[in-house]
Chains A and B, each alone.
Chain A
């Protein structure tokens, strides 16, 4: 017998897995509770009440800045006698951490295998400001990217970088690490042409780390967030996009990779050519899985459960962001809103969690103002929206 059959709202709130579901619903839990309600409609009232009580609690939240996080850790190192961890290590992990920061979610790490730790060495720079679009060159120099959609181009030798229309020279030593890094905050985007001719569109709230000149054996970049790649074909030198949860390897093709640290999933969509994907740590399952995609297929990985699958998709819906359009095909309102938040760098609160499950299909023009986009959404689904005093937006049920 299901123990929940006798539960009152208080009992539900005392149940650990119920609370986990409210705080962080994944598809398994969602399915479990949906089925439970279907089978026990008499419990709906108690369950709804439990959710209502829970929803009334919105505690205030204090957060440390990235600067403070570093300085506290630095002090810890100075105060303790056996200090070994370098700031570099912290910086490396912080690369993943910082995006997570603003959302209050938990972070994960890129590098589990020690042998990979040297591949991307970040020059020791002053504490970074991740709210500003910038390119950081191998010598640690940071150049701001001022336009909303910036353009960066490398020549074949990697020592000349053209940002928008300015040319910048950087010294490329053969023995020194030459990792360059582009940081694009929410609300901006960038297009980068790498030294091998590969073109990368970097979406809002993303970072790309790459060498100014590629290695002769392998072309490797590291991505946090979302990017669309048009890889210059070179069958002798594979191109690898490394992300937190999976690596995507190609010879020459175009594809989209979505790997935001604060999303619960990793996905990649293939437009032309072929790619192979190696997922790293698939949640509960350990070991590596290798998958091969053909055009118009999407690989989807749920980070938490490790569940993954390949689907046939309409690629336009996944790559249209680089043209400033956003196609959605039966997507949850909550996911659409998440995209809009990133794109416009605004907070949008869905006041009623049930609203987040509305399915949206259609095409949104992201060039227009955010309020216009919300108006369009309102035409699709029964919602009301408004603007709070602090500049955040909210979505509620219409009266």
Chain B
């Protein structure tokens, strides 16, 4: 349950019944999340904005064919992603043509303040975690981002990624374990070091 879920669902129902003002409220509460999410698929900001615009135009034009939903956010995320993926494939004339359904997802991290945290253990770990995350597949990264940034439930992630709920769980688990290993390898190094100093203690 996200904070505005109930309100959104109510507005969505009003919109389906023909109240367009309701959609403008849905737009206002969600547009920034949609934009933030969209920007992870492409560096082309104007493309993302066009897709958001197109998404809401489509909603208005196809209103009578839309069905009720109690999770407006997941629905919007899914629709926007579909549009962006389609558009990026269409516009990438010179790049290698991606396979159907294949897309790039770059999580992107907050800038670390290198000066303040030089040689700081925590920042080193953060860097290690980041490079571990970068090495994940696009879908794993997307799942992690949706979960840890927006707090999407497994049900919502499953919807956005076209998965079973159980697969969302194992996607996150695998990614988290990878990150955990990075954090742990640090601790292991210390215990190896102790073993080297006091090998007998380990007996």
B residues in contact (CB < 8 Å) with A: 1, 3-4, 7, 20-21, 23-25, 27-29, 31-32, 35-36, 39, 45, 49, 52-53, 56-57, 60-61, 107-111, 113, 115-116, 125-126, 129-130, 133, 144-145, 147-149, 151, 153-154, 169, 172-173, 176-177, 179-180, 183
> Are A63 and B109 closer than 8 Å at their CB atoms?
no
Give 19 pairs: A residue, B residue, CB < 8 Å, sorted on A. Answer: A9-B176, A10-B176, A10-B177, A10-B180, A16-B153, A56-B183, A57-B129, A58-B110, A60-B111, A61-B36, A63-B35, A64-B31, A64-B35, A72-B56, A93-B28, A104-B32, A108-B4, A388-B116, A394-B116
Stretch at the interface among A19-27, A142-150, A227-235: A19-27
Q: Which residues of A are found within 8 Å of B147, using beta-carbon distances?
A: 13, 19
Q: Which residue of A lies closest to B3 (CB)?
A: A106
Q: Which residues of A are found within 8 Å of B39, using beta-carbon distances?
A: 62
Q: Mark A1-41, 1 if CB is under 8 A from B, else 0.
A: 00000000110011010011011100000000000000000
Complex Cα distance, B22 from A84, in Å, reads 11
> Are B113 and A394 closer than 8 Å at their CB atoms?
yes
> Are B20 and A54 closer than 8 Å at their CB atoms?
no
- Residues 66-113 (chain A) with a chain B CB within 8 angstroms: 68-69, 72-73, 75-76, 79-85, 89-90, 93-94, 97, 101, 104, 106-109
Residue A389 lies at the interface, judged by CB distance under 8 Å to chain B: yes
Main secondary structure of the interface of B (DSSP, over half): helix
Complex Cα distance, B37 from A63, in Å, reads 10
Closest 7 CB pairs of A and B: A80-B60, A62-B39, A58-B110, A60-B108, A56-B129, A23-B151, A388-B113
Complex Cα distance, B117 from A386, in Å, reads 10
Q: Which of B28, B35, B180 lies in contact with A90, CB distance below 8 A? A: B28
Q: Which residue of B lies closest to A351 (CB)?
A: B122
A residues in contact (CB < 8 Å) with B: 9-10, 13-14, 16, 19-20, 22-24, 49, 52-54, 56-64, 68-69, 72-73, 75-76, 79-85, 89-90, 93-94, 97, 101, 104, 106-109, 304, 386, 388-390, 394
Q: Which of A53, A60, A75, A108 lies in contact with B109, CB distance below 8 A? A: A60
